[in-house]
Amino acid sequence: MKLCMIGTGYVGLVSGVCFSDLGNDVICVDKDINKINNLKKGIIPIYEPGLEELVLKNYKNKRLNFSTNLRDSVKKSDIVFICVGTPTKKNSNSADLTQVFSAGKEISKSINKFKIIINKSTVPVTTGDELEKIIAKKVNKKYFSVVSNPEFLREGEAIRDFIYPDRVVVGSNDKKSSKILKNLYSPLISKGAKFVSTNRRAAELIKYASNAFLATKISFINEIANLCEKTGIDVEDISIGIGLDKRIGSRFLRAGPAYGGSCFPKDTKAIVSTAEKFKINLSIIKSVIKSNNLRSHLLLKRLTLIMKNKIKNKKISFLGVTFKANTDDMRDSSSLELIPYLSKKGAKIKYYDPTGYKKEFKNLKNVEFSTSIGESIKGSDIVIIHTEWNDFKSINFKKFSKNKKLIIYDMRNIFSSSKIKKIGFKYFGIGR
Ligand code: UDX
């Protein structure tokens, strides 16, 4: 099929490239001419394992193309995916839909035959209805259908998540479009993905409810971890013990720092705000947001105790600053709270991240980037492991540190406390 992806951010680029790999002709459109020129040269704007190879392969065999010309690309396509950002509005918790609606306006100027317009951006319930109205101002409704097809791609695992999804959700108010979409996704459905066909509003809500539920699960285990720390229990045992109950499920039960990234913080706020418009109080999700907002403060309190209230002039090695491993994304990373606080308290921080230097810490006092794990750890009083990159899992602390009193604060529980203690260092994890 001929597809057009509007927006070459995470969702648009990964989905477009994967659709082309499945044999479709795909044009990825973006306003940013530099981004488009770079993509044509195989230069990828985001860090995503496996993406570069797929871009090069499919661009070379001409199934994948890049363009800044939205109207022309829409004209050439049967299905148009809107994959633009829906950030949180300034001074409000609701989603800013400006980009979705302006894409809709542009698309409406280029409809020359029947087209399915798919919203892949995460949007509040009823956005599809609004989009339909915008397009209907220019085009007769018989020439287009607005469908919701949310994505569930995790950064760092996006290609795998696209190829092997648990489910494909399509929300359409007309059967014909739903059938076409089922056909488009048939290579994934035949490999085991469930196809969930709903009306448009339900698909919009499935996306928000999924992210809000996962955020709830994480906050739940984080709070249980707080209790474990006071009662001599290892939270990992709790995660296994409850996760084996199929009604609960074992995934997303890893206790750690506050959840971050481009979705959970934004989407939990947006679903609460949407519900308020319908006079519904989502009190559980509100508590989750509150709990997560307090998380960094709690971890800093524990860190202060671990360091016996002496943070000033302490040398801290901070490993991993992005919001999780396998991404270069700093959006809503808890390091953005932890590092400035420690710098303000007079600590000397050397941070290392496999994805390199971060401009976010540029103006902080005594915060410098180390080019290797060893350089960051050398001479430090404490090592904070903030994300679970594989590179960190095999660190030989003895090799990098001569400090016999080295403390390790493992915020992702990637090490066994007994093993670290055996080599003579003090170890603290989360919920342990
Ligand atoms: C998320 C959703 O998982 C994906 O389906 C969606 O559509 C986009 O948002 P992403 O933000 O890439 O994906 O990351 P994810 O792996 O879900 O992690 C989100 C946050 O939760 C991270 O801060 C991560 O560290 C944290 N997390 C995740 C935990 O603390 N514990 C867990 O068990 C899982």
Predicted local distance difference test score (pLDDT) of residue 30 = 97
H or E element that contains 162: helix 158-163
Predicted local distance difference test score (pLDDT) of residue 244 = 98
Mean pLDDT on 327-341: 97
Ligand 1 touching residue 213 (CB < 6 A): no
With a CB cutoff of 8 Å and minimum separation 6, the contacts of 110 are 70, 71, 72, 74, 75
Ligand 1 touching residue 218 (CB < 6 A): yes
Fold observed for domain 295-428: Rossmann fold (3.40.50)
Answer yes or no: same fold for 2-198 and 295-428. Answer: yes
Structure tokens of 192? 């085991």
CATH number at 208-294: 1.10.1040.10
Going by CA atoms, what residue is nearest to atom 6 of ligand 1?
Answer: 152
Ligand 1 touching residue 324 (CB < 6 A): yes
Nearest by Cα to 12 from 30, 25, 24: 30
Q: Which atom of ligand 1 is nearest to the CA of 264?
A: 9
Residue pair 349/316 in contact by the 8 Å Cβ criterion: yes
Nearest by Cα to 50 from 97, 87, 13, 4: 13
Provide the sign of the torsion angle of the four alpha carbons 251, 262, 280, 166, taken in this order: negative
Domain 2-198 has CATH 3.40.50.970: no
Per-residue model confidence as pLDDT tens digits over 166-218: 999 999 999 999 999 999 999 999 999 999 999 999 999 999 999 999 999 99
Per-residue model confidence as pLDDT tens digits over 391-419: 999 999 999 999 999 999 999 999 999 99
pLDDT band at 276 (very low <50, low <70, confident <90, very high): very high
Q: Where are the domains of the chain?
A: 2-198, 208-294, 295-428
> 67: CA distance to ligand 1 center in Å?
31
What integer best gives the mean pLDDT of the chain?
A: 97
Ligand 1 touching residue 125 (CB < 6 A): no
Q: pTM (2 decimals)?
A: 0.96
Per-residue model confidence as pLDDT tens digits over 61-89: 999 999 999 999 999 999 999 999 999 99
Per-residue model confidence as pLDDT tens digits over 85-143: 999 999 899 999 999 999 999 999 999 999 999 999 999 999 999 999 999 999 999 99
Positions annotated as catalytic residues are 263
